[in-house]
A = this chain, B = another copy of it.
Amino acid sequence: MKQLLGGKGANLAEMTSIGLPVPPGFTITTNTCADYNAAGGQMPEGLMDEVKANMAIAEKELGKEFGSATNPLLMSVRSGAAVSMPGMMDTVLNLGLNDAAMAGLAAVSSNRRFALDAYRRLINMFGDVVMGVGHDKFEEQFDLIKAKYGVELDTDLNEDGLDELIVAYKAVYLDHTGEEFPQDPYAQLEKSIEAVFKSWNIPRAIRYRQINEITGLLGTAVNVQSMVFGNLGVDSGTGVAFTRDPATGENIFYGEFLINAQGEDVVAGIRTPQPVSEMVEWKSDMYDQLLEIKATLENHYREMQDIEYTIEQDKLYLLQTRTGKRTGLAAVKIAVDMVTEGRLTDKEALLRVPASDLNQLLLPTFNPDAPRDVLTRGLPASPGASAGLLSFSADEAVERTLKGETVLLVRKETSPEDVSGMHAAAGILTSTGGMTSHAAVVARGWGKCCVAGAGEIFIDEGKRAVTINGRTFGDQDLLSIDGSTGEVMAGAVPTQDPQLSEEFVTLMEWADRCRTLQVWTNADTPQDAERARGYGAEGIGLCRTEHMFFEGDRINNMREMILAQNEADRRTALDKLLPHQRKDFHGLFKTMGGLSVTIRLLDPPLHEFLTNDKSIQAELAQALGLELETVRTRIMLLHEINPMLGHRGCRLSITYPEILEMQVTAITEAAITCEREGIDARPEIMIPLVGTHKELDILRQRTEQRIALTKKAMNYEGNLNIPVGTMIEIPRAALTADEVAAHADFFSFGTNDLTQMTFGYSRDDVNTFLPDYLNQEILEKDPFQSLDTSGVGQLVEMGVSKGRSVNEDMKMGICGEHGGDPASIMFCHNAGLDYVSCSPFRVPIARLAAAQASVAQEKITKL
């Protein structure tokens, strides 16, 4: 009944209806608000009569009287539309207090200061929220009186001060409204209800509805609810609790309480609360009642609840219940336990765990109880918790790691040249670059901890030191970085290892039973592949061959190849790279035996492999028999203004067919060798950056010729079949997917580049404006993290339907970063893809998200 009662009202009613002790009250419907506005701001006839009748019920239930000078009933008034609208009126508390009632409250609570404080709050709130007197006008008086009494904190002001304050507040009220503060409690209540009605059409509420496209609502409901107090003596108290342990998921009643206190005292941390289990010693009947409430709530909501309760003079009231926040670990355990308990079906349980939260289960984390000396905060680029000595270059990171040191690689930003150092380091910290910077993407791919774009870090490579907010750290100093929060901390914060729970395994089994979408992985090395397979990956959707060219000597051969003067020299250099590639592929095929390994041919622009280091350039020049100047000039000529849109991807294979030939030879040789060793190698060759069907036509032919030649050279006569497919990552490829499909065995949507080109955003530069775009709500999410379904998604859907119009059964997948993002996985499932490919550490997340997509679709189909 949200439409009629508003969200808050409906929830209060629901709790009441399942027998929970909620402070009595009533809700004035949204219809009434509509009537008020339709009548041009006239309170509907008979409304206050109904209000009074309902007040009588509350008075009777609580044994108090509204406005009473002995045992006064206090009320709160809150707005509450069917959709949550933070732009609307705030709450008015303590309604019903006047001079007489204040004295009554003082007496009944044996706490005159409390009663005075409640009264001054009412005058302030009523004046501000209902009558439009500026809050600052009251604050001015408060400051004067605090100064007079020589106190700093509001809570330090004594009863005399509060007496004086109430006089001053009443004067402010009179001064700005022209009326005395109303002593008639029903006058207070009526004006408050009317103020809530009016608040429906104040400009900021209208604007809020416009911005959030909220339409079709009648108005706001008004919740009139009695106040209860946990600070009316030692038989009163207050607490917050979870129906299960939110950190571990254990099925225990978990929480805290304070005797003779108000709810805000628990939160504010002024007093230290006791564990809820100790309530037994104080009031065991109340504790038993709470345990009953736990059961009732979980039976009703079938979900772990987070509650607030107050005991007013031995009477328990539930003030709020809501779904409790929990860690990933707890989410999994609770979901699985609730299936065991018969509360949920396994499919429902799958929907209960936010897939991304599995991340927390898979990575080491800092011990949450350990102290943290936080220096600054960067972007949480790749989860994990790492501590290490500082190293300032990739080479240094490699060298010191070999010596047995644990180091963090600290760089302004990273580039492909740095990968060996990045791989060696325990974690990566950069001062520039965003969530999708090179450092971030590579680190996530490896599940390596990374904090990126920590702008307050000043790196002085010359001095081998970083300065962070005035503190300087050198190469023998330890820093810790938290990839889940972006925190950078001094020293080594202790970590704890993840343990995969039984419940995790169970949940994954259910997920695998449910899902239709396969989960593959992006992996370039046998180590990555093995890890991913351990996490349940069903194939490699993207093996980036370029990472293979940076290790050891290879980078020199690669550079010789790039700088070669002619095809013959190029081939000589490539011949040196061939055995390395073959070995790499052999390792991958072996690890992934029986599963597809999709190998992307060389993709990045060649200058990414070069270096500005003069001494390396000199070595190169010597190796190639060239003048240093010639080498430098050629490196300069390879520089591009927009390398992202330049000479890369399949364009390299068009202009330098010998690179493709080397790679295809290495793949075929490795596959044949595997077969002869009894390993079921299943390579697939993927041509990147195709924009026209003719590129694929030509390169597929070259690839197949080379496969045939290699088979012949190896006297191979078996059935090895190497499918040849393409990435769809250029808008034009998606637009003309029917033409492209004629030459492809499979499509793999490269949504990183597709997003770059569809939006016209360079991933490397987007941080200059993306923060503004998110702040101004131009974009809901970073489109590099979660697939833009309305724009980029159209191209993916177009690619799928046009591709399948030519080849009905064509295998289609996605291998962009989005393959590990749950919302994007949902999209991929609905778009009819066969698989998503993501980094090894995200494989479990993707398995769960894929299952959730299936369950969600089933639900819709059932409707």
Contact = CB atoms under 8 A, between A and B. Distances in A.
Interface string A749-770: 0000100111111101110110
Given A645-B642, A765-B645, A730 B753 contact: no
A781 interface: no
Given A694-B778, A765-B643, A791 B758 contact: no
A768 B640 CA distance: 9
Contact of A654 (B694, B769, B792): B769
A779 interface: yes
Interface stretch (A10-18, A487-495, A557-565, A731-739): A731-739
Contacts of A756: 645
A735 B795 contact: yes
Chain A contact residues (Cβ within 8 angstroms of B): what range? 35 or more
A691 interface: yes
Given A642-B644, A645-B765, A736 B790 contact: yes
B732 A792 contact: yes
A736 B769 CA distance: 21
A769 B606 CA distance: 13
A694 B731 contact: no
Interface in A627-660: 640-647, 651, 654-655
Interface string A661-704: 00000000000000000000000000001011011001000000
A681 to B, nearest CB: 32
Contact of A731 (B689, B757, B764): B757
Contacts of A731: 731, 757-758, 760, 791, 795
B654 A772 contact: yes
A796 to B, nearest CB: 11
A562 to B, nearest CB: 13
Given A640-B765, A645-B644, A692 B654 contact: no
Contacts of A642: 642-645, 762, 764-765
Contacts of A794: 735-736
Integer count of this chain's copies in the complex? 2
A731 B754 CA distance: 10
A788 interface: yes
Contact of A732 (B655, B739, B758): B758
Contact of A689 (B647, B760, B773, B790): B760
Contacts of A757: 645, 731, 757-758, 760
A155 interface: no
Interface string A764-802: 111011001100111100000000101110110000000
Contacts of A776: 654, 694, 698
Nearest to A795: B735
A634 to B, nearest CB: 13
A83 B401 CA distance: 69
Given A772-B654, A790-B736, A760 B730 contact: yes
Given A640-B762, A645-B762, A762-B641, A769 B732 contact: no
A646 B792 contact: no
Contacts of A790: 735-736, 739
A17 B521 CA distance: 72
A270 B640 CA distance: 51
A791 B645 contact: no
Contact of A758 (B643, B689, B735, B759): B735
Given A732-B788, A790-B736, A692 B779 contact: yes
A761 B654 contact: no
Nearest to A655: B772
A759 B731 CA distance: 7
Contacts of A640: 762, 764-765, 768
Interface of A: 640-647, 651, 654-655, 689, 691-692, 694-695, 698, 730-732, 735-736, 739, 753, 756-762, 764-766, 768-769, 772-773, 776-779, 788, 790-792, 794-795
The 3 nearest A-B residue pairs measured at CB: A645-B762, A642-B762, A732-B791
15 contacts: A640-B762, A641-B764, A641-B765, A642-B644, A642-B765, A645-B645, A651-B773, A654-B778, A694-B777, A698-B778, A730-B759, A731-B795, A732-B791, A735-B758, A735-B794
Given A647-B769, A691-B760, 4 more contacts: A640-B765, A647-B765, A692-B778, A730-B760
